[in-house]
Amino acid sequence: MVDGVKALIFDVFGTVVDWRGSVARLAAEFARKHDLPEANWDRFARDWRNLYQPSMQRVRSGELPFTKLDVLHRMNLAEIAPQYGFGDLSEEALDELNLVWHQLSPWPDSVEGLTLLKSRYIIGTHSNGNIALMVNMAKNGGLPWDVILGAEVVRQSKPVPATYDRCCDALGLSPSEVMMTAAHNNDLAAARARGLKTGFVARTDEYGPGQTKDLEVSEAWDVVASDFVELARKMGC
């Protein structure tokens, strides 16, 4: 347990939910529904996700105004759609496909671990996902958040320092009373630089068998756990 912590805020994509497996599965279902040819849907999921950081950087740099992640996902889908047989689909069909991000499945330990943590702490998101995306994902996956925080609330995206500051302020807590929890070392480094406590949970299958990053800690984070249930136990739940 880390003394003084009253709330845990979580990165979501990759930390709480399995975006790669979920998008691949849902894209395959979508393709069958629309009589589209088979494709490597795991690669499709990774290709779509790989456009995420470049599009977010366009927002951070000021090239684009603050833009909800749903909109960025839709822009990125239009870019890769022709490669996977979606090029001739209607705009309405592509809008439907874009909503797979609202249906991502939690990792097997996520709901149990979050429920344990919720018995003792405030738990919430700190994600670059927009509010509707986070709420629908929570409803679909049974994620028991107390609060939805993140990019849309503060109108900036991680890892901009102000995002961490404003999430703590929204909770009425000092940074030392809040633990940022993520499967990504860079997210935790940005949080620690703003005075937050840090919790690391490795998700070694986030990107599939070839994953090379975030397989282990890069710094001595305050808590390191194998999954959310172990995290809850280490936090005294």
Q: Tell me the per-residue pLDDT of 69-95, one tens digit each, with 9 for 90 and over.
A: 999 999 999 999 999 988 889 999 999
Q: What was the pLDDT predicted at 209?
A: 87
Q: Which residues pair with 127 in a beta bridge?
A: 150
Q: Nearest-CA neighbor of 85 among 98, 75, 94, 76?
A: 94
State whether 33 and 81 are in the same domain: yes
pLDDT digits (tens, 9 = 90+) for 120-170: 999 999 999 999 999 999 999 999 999 999 999 989 999 999 999 999 999
CA distance 21 to 54: 22
- Identify the CATH number of the domain in which residue 62 sits: 1.10.150.240
Tell me which of 103, 132, 153 is where a domain ends. 103
Q: Pseudo-torsion of CA 41, 17, 9, 61, nearest 10°?
A: 0
Question: Does the pLDDT at position 1 exceed 90?
Answer: no
pLDDT band at 210 (very low <50, low <70, confident <90, very high): confident
For range 63-73, the mean pLDDT: 95
90 vs 93, 103, 165, CA distance in Å? 5, 21, 42
All residues at 6 or more sequence positions from 163 whose CB lies less than 8 Å from its CB, including other chains: 126, 150, 151, 154, 156, 157
Task: Clarify whether residues 93 and 202 are in a common domain.
Answer: no
Confidence of residue 177 (pLDDT cuts 50, 70, 90): very high
Question: Hey, what amino acid is at 88?
Answer: D
Is residue 165 one of the residues assigned to a domain?
Answer: yes
Number of domains in the chain: 2
Residue 72 and residue 151 in one domain: no
In a domain, 34, yes or no: yes
Based on the fold, state whether residues 187 and 88 are members of the same structural domain: no
- pLDDT tens sequence across 7-57: 999 999 999 999 999 999 999 999 999 999 899 999 999 999 999 999 999
Q: Same domain, yes or no, for 156 and 219?
A: yes
Let me know whether 86 and 165 are in one domain. no
Predicted local distance difference test score (pLDDT) of residue 101: 98
- Do 111 and 27 sit in the same domain of this protein? no
Co-location of 83 and 172 in the same domain: no
Structural domain contains residue 207 = yes
Q: Helix 41-50 and helix 69-80: axis angle, to 10°?
A: 120
Interstrand relation of 223-225 and 122-127 (parallel, antiparallel or unpaired): unpaired
What is residue 12's predicted lDDT score, i.e. its pLDDT?
A: 98
Residue in 41, 46, 48 with CA at minimum distance from that of residue 27: 41
Omega of the bond prior to 159 within 30 degrees of 0, cis? Answer: yes
Structural domain boundaries enclosing 53: 19-103
Q: What is the pLDDT of residue 88?
A: 87
Token pair belonging to 85: 């047989």
Q: What share of the chain is helix, strand, coil (3-state, %, to 5)?
A: 50, 15, 40
Say yes or no: 161 and 47 in one domain.
Answer: no
Residue 131 sits in the same domain as residue 218: yes
Q: Residue 122's domain is classified under what CATH number?
A: 3.40.50.1000
Residues 14, 115: one domain? yes
Domain annotation covers residue 2: no
Residues 139 and 57 in one domain: no
Domain boundary at 67, 86, 103, which?
103
pLDDT reading at 222 higher than 90: yes
- Of 81, 103, 125, the residue at which a domain comes to its end is 103
Residue 1 lies in a domain: no
Look at the block and give the residue holding tokens 């759609």: 81
